[in-house]
Structure 1
Amino acid sequence: MSSLLVIASGNAGKVREFGHMLAGLQLQIRPQPEGLEVEETGDTFAENARLKASAVARASGCWALADDSGLSVTALGGTPGVHSARYGPSDPERIARLLRELDGAGDRSARFTAALAVADPSGTIRLEVEGICPGEILEEQRGTGGFGYDPVFFVPEAGLTYAEMDKALKGRIGHRGQAFALLAPQLRELLDAGL
């Protein structure tokens, strides 16, 4: 009998991605209850992940996993940060705004952060991890893969933008992949203890 884990998202793509990353744990994965909206009022990625995991766990009566992630740019004081998805109405507009605001900036360093939180059915947070991928913002887009800021986020360690990486490489060195690598063994311990 596999354990049930609710993903704190109504986004089918994200639920599938999480299911793929958690495939080795023999979990039954399902999306959060339909119509449930959790307001992301936290000031950090970790706070938002906790809010979502806790609310979805209480609403579903099941264990829940939530994430919050985004891009923080040094020269912009950490912006767009927790507002990464709301920095513009579409990916091209978000990228255009970012490049406009960085025009002439000497420091183009940035980092992607992914915070993951797991809550038990009472809404109590039982696990938290954070994955970080440092990089820099290019002046022009490169690559056709990925989504969001991927075409302008360059990872010096790989010599590629996120949009130029294949899924396996991005999964290994990217912020979300790093967070899942930290989460998996701890989640396995919870499962073995009877999640």
Structure 2
Amino acid sequence: MNLRTYRDFSKLVIASANDGKINEFKNFLSNFPLVILGQPPDLKVQETGVSFMENARIKALAAASATGEISLADDSGLSVLFLNGAPGIYSSRYAKNDSERIKRLLKELELCDNRSAYFSSALCIASPNNEILVEVEGRCDGVITNLPRGTNGFGYDPVFEVDGTGLTYAEMELNQKEALGHRGRAFKALTPYLKRLLDL
């Protein structure tokens, strides 16, 4: 990790076209003196990595190169033990939309007793100079519910119940999801490095 201070670091591009993900990061980053930007709408990135971190790295480097700004990318997804880790890095490509992805997942687990699963989040910050500045990961364990519950969140949130809470992500208030969720845990690990980059 190359953690020299960037004194002109005032903008941060979130390397995503997912509004839900961008809004989560705006909340996470609300206490930092940064202007948060989305990636260019015409930027298309091929996620050719074989892990969450490899894909986060690819996206961060692409967005930083396209914008000339420091970029933060997240690659995250759901891994189900019974499905040998699927959908994993293909979580967003498991079906054409959120409801179809949930429908497919529940169908594949219909006769399954072991519904253990976990969410992973890999975060990568890259500079326009093709440098990887920071990489961290977070994880949240839980189970897949039999039916969707809750109206908050996005993606697989309505069918992922966090261990020890009795609540799905979609039943949680935002601050609770941020504290317990995979992306929140990854961001907590990222925070000291981000402060150093900003010289805070």
TM above 0.5: yes
Q: Which residue of 2 aligns with 1:4?
A: 11
Structure 2 stretches of 5 or more lacking a match? 1-7
Matching of residue 26 in structure 1 with residue 3 in structure 2: no
Residue of 108, 113, 118 corresponding to 1:111:
118
Aligned with 1:118: secondary structure?
A: strand
Cα RMSD of the aligned pairs, angstroms, is: 1.6
Alpha-carbon distance between aligned partners in 2 of 1:54 and 1:185, rounded to the nearest angstrom: 21
Structure 1 equivalent of residue 74 of structure 2: 67
Aligned equivalents of 1:73, 1:11: Cα separation in 2: 23
Question: How many angstroms does 1:2 deviate by?
Answer: 6.1
Please tell me whether residue 97 in structure 1 is matched to residue 104 in structure 2.
Answer: yes
Amino acid in the other structure paired with 2:117:
A
Secondary structure of the equivalent of 2:198?
A: helix
1:140 aligns with 2:130: no
Q: State the match for 2:158 in structure 1.
A: 151
- Partner amino acid for 2:10? S
For 1:36, which of 39, 43, 47 is the aligned residue?
Answer: 43
Spell out, residue by residue over 1:130-156, the C-alpha distance to the aligned partner (whole angstroms, 9 max, x if none). Answer: 110000111222222222211111112
The amino acid across from 1:174 in the alignment is: G
TM-score by length of 2: 0.90
Q: Distance in 2 between matches of 1:39 and 1:158?
A: 36
Shift of 1:42: 0.9
Q: Structure 1 residue 85 and structure 2 residue 89: aligned?
A: no
Structure 1 unmatched runs, 5+: none
Q: Among the aligned pairs, what percent are the same residue? A: 54
State TM-score, norm by structure 1: 0.92
2:14–2:71 CA contact under 8 A, matched in 1: yes
1:107 & 1:43 partners in 2: Cα distance?
A: 25
CA contact (8 A) 2:17 2:39 kept: yes
Residue 48 (1) aligns with residue 18 (2) = no
In 2, Cα distance between equivalents of 1:156 and 1:54:
34
| Aligned equivalents of 2:22, 2:151: Cα separation in 1 | 23
Residues 16-44 of structure 1: per-residue CA shift (max 9 Å, x gap): 33222112120122222331111111111
Residue aligned with 1:129, SS: strand
Deviation at 1:52, TM superposition (A): 0.5
Q: What is the aligned length?
A: 193
